[in-house]
Amino acid sequence: MSPDPLDRVSVVIVSWNVRAQLQRALKLLASAQELEIIVVDNASEDQSAEMVAAEFPWVRLVRNQSNTLYAPAVNQGAALCERPWLLLLNPDCEVAPETLRPLAQFLKENSEYGAAAPLLTDGTGQAAPGIMEAPGFWTPLFFGTPLERWLPNSRELKRWFCRGRDYSQDQDVPQPPAACLLVRRSSWDLLEGMDSNLALFFNDADLCLRLIQGDQRIRLLTGLRALHRTGSSTRQLPDFAAHWHRDRLRYQRKHFGFWAGPFVKLCTSWSLLDLLLRGFWSRLRGRPAEPALPLLRAFGRFVLQ
């Protein structure tokens, strides 16, 4: 009898104030206690850690004293793993052991692949793969600026969002979401994990790009499914946009050099000006608009980075 592939899988889940979602995710995995599961709790205030300790004592629980954000916490959990395959799993993503077995078997049989992922679905059962290309130098000009409204079907946005891709067959992909991503541990260690400077956003784009640059392939197995309830933790952040802009700036600088920084700031300036003008027009018409002063303060902090 061949060994169960799940004996070789470590699961890392980073949790922050998502008690109900985390509970559902762990219940689904509870039938496969051969899995090594590590939950890194980023100082949740909703009794998430207490729930894990009480209901899932076989799970290894790490309690952080503060919210270290996603990438540092993933690296913290991965450092404790002892198995050759590492599953990055969001607490708002529900995946059954029956899905993980063939996913792990695929990596076992295909050494040229550094990672593999199932096809994600939304709460209605519809495919929501979230496959992206790596951001390009020009992506900040077309996403988040007025150009996104004026040219919604631009070549750059079609490229970045992989629009028109057919997901009816298994295929190599540039970047599946890290919501449910099985990574070969040797590849992870070679890359030294996620870039902690991209603490909340663009860390999965960076990880997948570095895998591919290292001659590793990434496979999407469309016959395998996982349910993803998007963004349960990140949408709670009061400074969500500030984190997103900061991490995008860092990603662009890292992969495109010094001049990417001024270019991103210029694009962000245009976006802010557009937002302020539309807010001013809304107020003239007696409609609510986002307060301008907090936006200007956040932008000032961003420009100084």
**Residues in CB range of 92: below 8 A, 6 or more apart:** 18, 21, 25, 179, 228, 229, 230, 231, 232, 233
The residue whose two tokens read 């916490």 is 73
Residue 172: CB atoms within 10 A of its CB come to: 10
Predicted local distance difference test score (pLDDT) of residue 81: 95
Backbone φ and ψ for 268, nearest 5 degrees, come out as: -65, -35
Are 167 and 127 in contact by the 8 Å Cβ rule? The answer is: yes
The predicted model scores a pTM of: 0.94
What's the rounded Cα separation, in Å, for the pair 276 and 274? Answer: 6
| Mean pLDDT value across the chain | 94
The residue whose two tokens read 């028109």 is 164
pLDDT at 134 over 50: yes
pLDDT digits (tens, 9 = 90+) for 235-256: 666 688 899 999 999 999 999 9
Binned at pLDDT 50, 70 and 90, residue 46 comes out as very high
pLDDT digits (tens, 9 = 90+) for 106-132: 999 999 999 999 999 998 878 888 999
If you compute the radius of gyration of the chain from its CA atoms, what whole number of angstroms results? Answer: 20
pLDDT digits (tens, 9 = 90+) for 71-95: 999 999 999 999 999 999 999 999 9
pLDDT digits (tens, 9 = 90+) for 185-203: 999 999 999 999 999 999 9
* Start-to-end Cα distance in the chain: 57
**Residues in CB range of 31: below 8 A, 6 or more apart:** 97
The residue whose two tokens read 């061949």 is 2
**Rounded average pLDDT over 39-64:** 97
Fold of 5-131+167-231: Spore Coat Polysaccharide Biosynthesis Protein SpsA; Chain A (3.90.550)
What are the CA-CA distances from residue 92 to residues 49, 204, 225, 289 (Å)?
16, 16, 14, 31
